[in-house]
């Protein structure tokens, strides 16, 4: 093995081929000197090093040590049949540091001093680096990571396979501003592209104000919004209390979510809800949140779930779904949960427990990235024009059995339930308005020996004169047959008219009224005021049916326009490294 000491004036850049494969001329020329043998050398790409002041280069093995404002580029072999030039999005990794030590045998690079690393996942800055260019795994100390969806910084960031990052003694935010609306500091935090974040020993800050600390925290940053785990609430019955929410399990295909209301006046109430997507093949994914709506409002029509809620204290809204077909096993334990009814005293429901299967979008196909939307960015199409992208119309089926106890009627019975939901695509009337049709059907069989069924066709009209103003008008008709021992699942009314008004800008206001056409009187209303910051939503809402005040502190992910802006920013940041494939 020989070594050379080369000044910058003599060599501007040098290519070190990880392939270490002789050229065709060398293969045909017996006098050509064969390269030194390489043990387990990675045969996946090549490296270029430039802008160094000093370079120690092992010509036999292709390893080197470089000093100065060193720039290293690693170019993996393109996929077969691909001729497009490589960029970070297609696999190019670019490193800049004061000192770089590269080993071909291990495919690893160590770097020290003012380093920057640009790879397909994001942009790193830090002090030291230990990184495998082939596997794109390693660690950065005193590190900052900037990606399309989030930023994190701390003592160390470990880069694992499959877009898994582990942060030690640092902070995390989805905000873009230099002074973020919120941040989460944690002793340990793991980000997984499929699971979101899981953190231990966390403290949540709003601006520079400390809100609270928790031993653990989980968050799905791809949801439309995610409520903080602790928010205040008030009702005359319960007085002031807190709502505590957490995702105890959040994997690629299953979730375990808890929602508990605590106050000094009444016993704790809420639910624990487990879901496991048992779909096969490419359809498997994280299950939908949407059914938790029906735990608190069991007669909620399917079209109601397509609207942005007047007050969103949780991320449970159908408008967030990507409509991927799912076959989901679920199990729920519920204790004294308030159930919204319009014309009668609302009961408290306990499920002890209930298990079942939910089949979502039975006629749909798996949605994949397209050339115009390679990252499956959030849909910013105005609501009247938004279509389900992978199905002619929506068809959901839900079947389950549970032991249900109702207060104050003190009725307990087993219930085998089937619900079928249908929703049409929006029918576009003009560029600002649309109409949609829906149908919900319930069929319940009780261990007390009775059978009860209900059918509710409905339609909904939406008008948006601009992107920040929405008017809606809907009608639902309900008919039933049979007998039920419960109050909560009996038909509430026959003719329901609903009207809504919402503003969707930096300041949001929403009002929803439900009107009983048979009795010719309003029976329910709710309103909310929200303040939407860069990545944080603050709000207060009031629901007249149970005289309940709700408070919202929701964490917002970047929307489509912000993601596009950040893509442009990261691309420009890459160009400052003279990012040209070797």
CA–CA gap between residue 498 and residue 297 (Å, rounded)? 15
Whether the per-residue pLDDT at 336 is higher than 50: the answer is yes
* pLDDT score recorded for residue 149: 80
pLDDT in tens, 504-516: 788 889 999 999 9
Residues facing 565 on adjacent strands: none
Domain boundaries, the chain: 220-557
Cα-to-chain-centroid distance, residue 512: 27
Whether the per-residue pLDDT at 345 is higher than 60: the answer is yes
CA–CA gap between residue 559 and residue 200 (Å, rounded)? 27
Q: Which of 97, 103, 112, 14 is nearest to 63 (CA)?
A: 103
At residue 309 the predicted structure's pLDDT band, cuts being 50, 70 and 90, is confident
DSSP helix/strand/coil, 7:
strand
* pLDDT score recorded for residue 20: 35
Share of the chain above pLDDT 90, in %: 29
Specify the higher pLDDT residue, 280 or 128.
Answer: 128
- Beta carbons within 8 Å of 527's beta carbon, 6+ residues apart: 310, 311, 509, 510, 511, 512, 541, 542
Q: What is the token pair recorded at 497?
A: 């008219």
CA–CA gap between residue 75 and residue 133 (Å, rounded)? 9
CA–CA gap between residue 384 and residue 378 (Å, rounded)? 16
pLDDT in tens, 2-37: 333 333 333 333 344 333 333 333 333 433 333 333
Whether the per-residue pLDDT at 80 is higher than 70: the answer is no
pLDDT in tens, 558-567: 665 566 666 6
CA–CA gap between residue 155 and residue 126 (Å, rounded)? 9
Q: What is the token pair recorded at 16?
A: 């070190």
* pLDDT score recorded for residue 506: 84
* pLDDT score recorded for residue 172: 92
Query: 232-240: long-range contacts at Cβ-Cβ below 8 A with a sequence spacing of 24 or more?
Result: 232/551, 233/261, 233/548, 233/549, 233/550, 233/551, 234/548, 234/549, 235/546, 235/547, 235/548, 235/549, 236/547, 237/265, 237/266, 237/546, 238/263, 238/265, 238/266, 239/263, 239/264, 239/265
Q: In whole numbers, what is the pLDDT of the chain averaged over residues? A: 78
Q: Would you say 298 and 291 are in contact if contact means Cβ atoms under 8 Å apart?
A: no
pLDDT in tens, 98-120: 999 988 777 789 999 988 988 76
Average of pLDDT values for 264-292? 75
* pLDDT score recorded for residue 1: 38
Q: Would you say 5 and 56 are in contact if contact means Cβ atoms under 8 Å apart?
A: yes
Share of the chain above pLDDT 70, in %: 74
Average of pLDDT values for 279-287? 62
Specify the higher pLDDT residue, 142 or 248.
Answer: 142
Specify the higher pLDDT residue, 479 or 79.
Answer: 479
Q: Would you say 227 and 530 are in contact if contact means Cβ atoms under 8 Å apart?
A: no
Specify the higher pLDDT residue, 268 or 62.
Answer: 268
Average of pLDDT values for 325-330? 89
DSSP 282: G
Helix (H) or strand (E) holding 25: helix 24-28
DSSP 570: H
Q: Is the pTM of this model over 0.85?
A: no
CA dihedral 324, 326, 331, 332 (to 10 degrees): 30
CA distances, 330 to each of 271, 292, 400, 520 (Å): 13, 11, 9, 40
DSSP helix/strand/coil, 350:
strand
* pLDDT score recorded for residue 86: 42
* pLDDT score recorded for residue 476: 95
pLDDT in tens, 435-492: 999 999 999 999 999 999 999 999 999 998 888 889 999 999 999 999 999 999 999 8
Whether the per-residue pLDDT at 48 is higher than 50: the answer is yes
* pLDDT score recorded for residue 255: 82
Q: Would you say 125 and 94 are in contact if contact means Cβ atoms under 8 Å apart?
A: no
Whether the per-residue pLDDT at 224 is higher than 80: the answer is no
* pLDDT score recorded for residue 281: 63
At residue 84 the predicted structure's pLDDT band, cuts being 50, 70 and 90, is very low
Judged by average pLDDT, the poorest of 265-279, 328-342, 366-380 is: 366-380
Whether the per-residue pLDDT at 47 is higher than 90: the answer is no
* pLDDT score recorded for residue 479: 96
* pLDDT score recorded for residue 49: 84
Match 């935010």 to its residue by tokens. Answer: 173
Does domain 220-557 match CATH 2.40.160? yes
Specify the higher pLDDT residue, 390 or 503.
Answer: 503
Q: Would you say 373 and 402 are in contact if contact means Cβ atoms under 8 Å apart?
A: no
Q: What is the token pair recorded at 205?
A: 């800050």
Helix %, strand %, coil % of the chain (to 5)? 5, 55, 40
Whether the per-residue pLDDT at 372 is higher than 60: the answer is no
* pLDDT score recorded for residue 560: 55
- Beta carbons within 8 Å of 53's beta carbon, 6+ residues apart: 7, 8, 67, 68, 69
Strand ranges (DSSP E) for 362-494?
Answer: 394-407, 411-423, 427-430, 433-446, 451-466, 469-477, 479-482
CA–CA gap between residue 189 and residue 156 (Å, rounded)? 11
CA–CA gap between residue 349 and residue 336 (Å, rounded)? 5
pLDDT in tens, 117-140: 887 677 899 999 998 887 888 999
* pLDDT score recorded for residue 127: 94
Whether the per-residue pLDDT at 90 is higher than 60: the answer is no
Judged by average pLDDT, the poorest of 80-94, 207-221, 222-236 is: 80-94
Helix (H) or strand (E) holding 227: strand 226-227
Cα-to-chain-centroid distance, residue 552: 19
CA–CA gap between residue 539 and residue 510 (Å, rounded)? 11
Whether the per-residue pLDDT at 522 is higher than 90: the answer is no
DSSP helix/strand/coil, 579:
coil
């Amino acid at each position: 093995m020989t070594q050379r000491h080369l000044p910058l004036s003599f060599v501007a850049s040098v290519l070190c081929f990880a392939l270490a494969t002789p050229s065709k001329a060398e293969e045909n020329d017996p006098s050509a000197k064969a390269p030194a043998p390489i043990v387990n050398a990675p045969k996946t790409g090549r490296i270029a090093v430039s802008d160094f002041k000093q370079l120690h280069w092992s010509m036999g093995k292709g390893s080197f040590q470089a000093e100065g404002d060193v720039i290293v580029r690693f170019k993996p072999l393109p996929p077969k049949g691909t001729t497009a030039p490589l960029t970070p999005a297609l696999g190019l990794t670019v490193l800049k540091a004061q000192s770089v030590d590269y080993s071909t045998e291990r495919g690893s690079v160590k770097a020290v001093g003012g380093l920057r690393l640009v790879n397909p996942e994001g942009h790193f800055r830090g002090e030291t680096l230990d990184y495998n260019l082939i596997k794109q795994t390693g660690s950065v100390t005193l590190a900052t990571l900037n990606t399309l969806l989030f930023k994190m910084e701390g003592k160390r960031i470990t880069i694992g396979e499959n877009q898994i990052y582990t942060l030690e003694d640092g902070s995390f935010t989805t905000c873009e501003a230099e002074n973020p609306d919120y941040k989460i500091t944690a002793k340990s935090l793991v980000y997984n592209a499929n699971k979101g974040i899981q953190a231990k020993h966390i403290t949540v800050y709003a601006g520079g104000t400390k809100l609270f600390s928790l031993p653990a925290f989980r968050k799905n940053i791809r949801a439309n919004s995610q409520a903080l785990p602790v928010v205040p609430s008030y009702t005359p019955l319960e007085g002031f209390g807190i709502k505590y929410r957490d995702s105890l399990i959040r994997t690629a295909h299953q979730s375990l979510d808890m929602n508990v209301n605590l106050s000094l006046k009444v016993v704790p109430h809420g639910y624990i809800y487990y879901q496991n997507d048992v779909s096969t093949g490419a359809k498997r994914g994280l299950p939908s949140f949407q059914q938790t709506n029906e735990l608190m409002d069991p007669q909620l029509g399917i079209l109601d779930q397509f609207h942005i809620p007047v007050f969103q204290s949780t991320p449970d809204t159908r408008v967030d779904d990507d409509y991927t077909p799912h076959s989901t096993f679920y199990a729920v334990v519920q204790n004294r949960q308030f159930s919204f009814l319009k014309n009668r005293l609302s009961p408290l429901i306990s499920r002890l427990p209930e298990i079942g299967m939910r089949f979502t979008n039975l006629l749909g196909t798996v949605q994949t990235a397209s050339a115009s939307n390679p990252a499956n960015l959030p849909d910013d199409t105005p609501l009247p024009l938004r279509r389900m992208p992978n199905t002619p119309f929506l068809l959901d089926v839900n079947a389950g059995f549970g032991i249900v106890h109702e207060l104050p009627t003190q009725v307990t019975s087993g219930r085998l339930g089937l619900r079928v939901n249908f929703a049409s695509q929006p029918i576009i009337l003009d560029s600002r308005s649309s109409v949609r049709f829906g149908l919900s059907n319930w069929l319940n069989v009780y261990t007390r020996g009775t059978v009860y069924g209900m059918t509710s066709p409905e339609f909904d009209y939406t008008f948006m004169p601009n992107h920040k103003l929405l008017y809606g008008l809907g009608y639902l008709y309900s008919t039933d047959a049979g007998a039920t021992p419960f109050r909560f699942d009996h038909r509430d009314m026959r003719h329901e008219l609903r009207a809504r008004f919402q503003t969707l800008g930096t300041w949001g206001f929403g009002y929803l009224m439900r009107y009983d056409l048979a009795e010719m009187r309003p029976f329910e209303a709710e309103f909310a005021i929200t303040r939407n910051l860069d990545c944080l939503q603050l709000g207060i809402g009031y629901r007249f049916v149970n005289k309940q005040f709700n408070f919202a502190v929701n964490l917002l992910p970047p929307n489509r326009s912000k993601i596009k802006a950040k893509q442009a920013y990261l691309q420009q940041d890459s160009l400052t490294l003279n990012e040209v494939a070797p």
